[in-house]
Structure formats: C-alpha cells, structure tokens
Amino acid sequence: MKRRSLLKAIAAGSATTFMGPWATNHVWAQSAQKKPLVVGLTMDASGQYGASGGEERLGAMMAIKEFNEKGGVLGRTIEALHMDTETTPATGSRVAERMITRNECAFLVGALHSGVANAISQVAQKYGCIFLNTNSSSPTEAGKDCHRTKFVWDGNGTNFAHAIVKNAMKVSGKNWVLLTNDYVWGHNTSKATRALVEANGGKIMDELLIPQNTRDFSAYLIKLQQLKPQVVAAAVGGDDIKALRRQVVQLKLNKNFAFINNQQDWPDVYGLGPEEIFGVFGTNWYYRLDLPGVKEFVDKYQKAYPGVQIKVPGNVYYNGYMATRELLRAVERAGSTNNIKVIKELENLKVPARERMQHFDAYMNPTTHQIQQTIYMATYNDQPAEKDDIFKILASTQPQEAEDKDAPAACKLESYEATPTYEV
C-alpha cells in the first residue's frame, strides 16, 4: 500500500471511530417509554467566568443525578445538555434560541455574567421557557430586567452591600473609592454600594471603571495610592478579580486600605495564596457552615467528582445545585412541565433553612422572582482547620434585612397571559 493511501485509510478510520460515539439517534415511542426531560445548561466554559461556569454545571448535574436515581421527574429521566455561553451575551442568546427551538429543552439553567443572563432571559421569555439565573448577581436581574419566566437564585449586589457596607463604614472609615467592572453587574452593584455609603454619611471619592478582561491594574492601583481612600469597594469578578488581588498584594496595598469585595465567588479565590484573600467580602454559602446537611453535601460532591481541581464545593456550585433541585421539585409538585404551572409553584416557594443549609429560611419574592436568603460576611481564615478552610464567616444577615427594597418597583413582570405557553 502506498504511503498516501495508508494515510487516507488511517484518516478515514480515525474519522469513523471519532464520529461513532457522537452520532446518537433518539427515537421515542411515547406509549412505550416517556420522552426524557432535557434541561439546557447555559453555562460559561470559557471567558471571564469560565472557571465558575464549570462549577455551577457540576451543581446542576448533581441535582439531576439525584432525581434520576429516584426515577427522574414525572416518570421521565432527565438529560442535561450543555453549551458554552462564552461569557458573551450574543452567544447566550444564540445558545438559548438553539436549545429551545432545536434541542427541545424543557428548561434553561445557568448564568454568571449578568449581560449573558439578561440575553438568555429575553429569548426564554419570548418562548415562555423557564430560565433559572443561577449565579449572576446584578440587581437589575430581579429589577428592571426581570421576566415572568426568569428566577434568580444568587444574592445580588444590593443584598451583599446591605450585609457589608454599614459595618465597614463603622470599622474602616467614610472615604470610599469604588472599583467597578464596566458592565451591568459592576455598575449596578457599585450603584447600590454608593447609595448605602452616601445614605450613611460617607463619601465616594472616585469610581474607577474597569473594563472586562483587564489584566493589568497598575494604573488603577497608582491612582488608589494617590487618592488614599479609607475603604476600597470592588465590584470586580471572574478572572479580573484574581489578577486584581494578585497585583494588590504585590504592591502591599492590602495593608494600606480596607478592601471590600461585594461578592466573592469560590472559584475566583480557590487556590490563591492566603495573602491574596484579603479584605471583607460577601457570600451566600460556605462549605464549613456548622449546619445540618452541610457535611453530607460536601461528601457527596467529593465522592461524585473526585478528579476536579476544586476539592470542596463553594457558593457557585451550591447555587447551581439549589436552583436545579428546586426547579425539579416544583415540576413534581405541579405534576406537569407546563411553564405557567411550574412558575406558580416557584413563585410560592419557601425553603426551610435546614434544606437550604443556611441560617435562615429562604423564600421566593413573587414580585421580583429572586430568592431571598441568608447573606454572609466573610474574610480570610487565618486559623484554618484544613487546607481549603480559607473563609472565616464574620456575620450572617437575615433575608429580610438584606432585601433589595427598590427591586419590586423596578421589576415589571409580564402577565401570565402575555407569557407564551411552553411545555416540552
């Protein structure tokens, strides 16, 4: 055989082998077997929030696995279909459109970037498909960008600001500088922080807008050195906050000012050195909360995902899990995948603290579609019980105290009648 022919044969063989496992045909005879319920996971695998996207996917997959182990939901097994939303709103729209129109996804779950979440939710609302915003925290998500079909599961910038700002003003001072990631979450989170600081007699000396994907913060840090604020409040996320933390430590600026990060996602600090986890920050869950169920939850994660680099679950995983679990429970209670029935179930959702593994009961606000939950203020744990025990929880705030009071006025949910019926 000539060399070229051999190469062609190898190539053809490889292509056949490669294509084999991917070509699957789903033919479902409704009478013999119920059609699986497909949940579309609209989660980032690349871009600024790529690392967190992987974590929330594991959370959603865990909830799906638990349901499948007890026979699925409404007698239907649950399948997960993931597509990378690339931390890009346009990709989010495309993925949502495709999942609904081509892949017949019953529900969409997942978002980190608020611009992406907003883009997905517009498509979902157009078709009436329920979308769970698991981890994106712009106050606008449950405010002016709310939708009848969208439910928000993370605490937002305003909730975290309520939990942190007053205390930081008492402890550190009244002259603040805001570092704001230049997109919807950063803007709205800093807006909430600014309002609280000014309402309590503080002063915003300056607000530095940081474009997404900034890797060099030297100009901002020199500016901070010139401004000499007492408190620096950052609303910076994903890969950007990792680079920022690293460069602040290199300049030892963490010793000059009090630093606050509105919300600190676990994948964004996991693996950083102890010095780099400086300041005070908000979170809605920690893997060493001394509450019933937490240890079992962590064990389950470690057993299911032994090879992952993040060895213990964090808030992003938790939100992915909780959102998916509550959705599937709502489907069970509704006895249907009909969107309006499931929406009504979710709107009346109340989850006892024990089931949420938080300190206080959580409840869905039916006028904003955001779950109201315990918010924690944390800092670096200088006396860790084990390697991953890097947070020290300083305080917990009740959902009612952390609630975003402006959200109900800003949120105009579409009526049930104006929401298309959707049932897959």
Partner 1 sequence: MQAGKLRGDADVRSLTLDFLLNLLPHVVNGLSLGLLFALIALGFMLIVGVMEVINLAHGSLFALGAYVALSLMGTSTSAGSYVMALVLAPVAVAAFGLLLELCMRRTYGRDPLYGLLLTFGAALVIEELIRAVWGARERTLAIPEAISGAVLVGDLIYAKYRFFACAVAAALILALWLFIEKTRVGAVIKAGAHDSEMVRALGYNLSRLRMGVFALGTALAAIAGIIMAPIWGIRPHVGVDAVVPAFLIIVLGGVGSFWGAVIAGILVGLVVGLTGAYASEWSLMSMYILFILVVTFRARGLFGRKSALDT
* 51 scored as a contact of partner 1 (CB under 8 A): yes
* 15 scored as a contact of partner 1 (CB under 8 A): no
Contact indicator for 37, 337 with CB cutoff of 8 Å: yes
Residue 1: exposure state from Cβ atoms within 10 A (0-12, 13-18, ≥19): exposed
- Which of 243, 291, 353, 424 lies at the binding interface for partner 1 (CB under 8 A)? 243
* 274 scored as a contact of partner 1 (CB under 8 A): no
Q: Write down the least CB distance from residue 281 to partner 1, Å.
A: 17
The rounded distance, in Å, linking the Cα atoms of 46 and 173 is 38
Contacts of 76 (CB under 8 A, 6+ apart): 34, 35, 36, 37
Ranges within 284-323 binding partner 1 (CB under 8 A): 309-310
Q: Write down the least CB distance from residue 187 to partner 1, Å.
A: 10
The rounded distance, in Å, linking the Cα atoms of 156 and 135 is 9
Q: Write down the least CB distance from residue 268 to partner 1, Å.
A: 8
What are residue 393's DSSP bridge partners? 378
The rounded distance, in Å, linking the Cα atoms of 152 and 147 is 10
Which residue in the block uniquely carries the two structure tokens 């009961």?
Answer: 361
Of residues 67 and 185, the one with the C-beta less far from partner 1: 185
- Which of 33, 101, 200, 225 lies at the binding interface for partner 1 (CB under 8 A)? 225
- Closest residue by Cα to residue 385 from 330, 312, 332, 315: 312
- Which of 34, 35, 46, 305 lies at the binding interface for partner 1 (CB under 8 A)? 46
Q: DSSP letter string over 139-206?
A: GGGGTTT--TTEEE-S--HHHHHHHHHHHHHHHH-SEEEEEEESSHHHHHHHHHHHHHHHHTT-EEEE
Q: Write down the least CB distance from residue 178 to partner 1, Å.
A: 11
The rounded distance, in Å, linking the Cα atoms of 259 and 164 is 11
Of residues 53 and 399, the one with the C-beta less far from partner 1: 53
* 58 scored as a contact of partner 1 (CB under 8 A): no
* 367 scored as a contact of partner 1 (CB under 8 A): no
- Which of 253, 291, 393, 410 lies at the binding interface for partner 1 (CB under 8 A)? 253
Mark the segment that binds partner 1 (CB under 8 A) among 70-78, 155-163, 238-246, 339-347. Answer: 238-246
- Which of 74, 195, 205, 272 lies at the binding interface for partner 1 (CB under 8 A)? 272
Ranges within 205-224 binding partner 1 (CB under 8 A): 208-211, 213-216, 218-223
- Closest residue by Cα to residue 56 from 213, 245, 265: 265
Residues that bind partner 1 (CB under 8 A): 46, 50-51, 54, 182, 208-211, 213-216, 218-223, 225-226, 239, 242-243, 246-247, 250-253, 267-268, 270-273, 276, 309-310
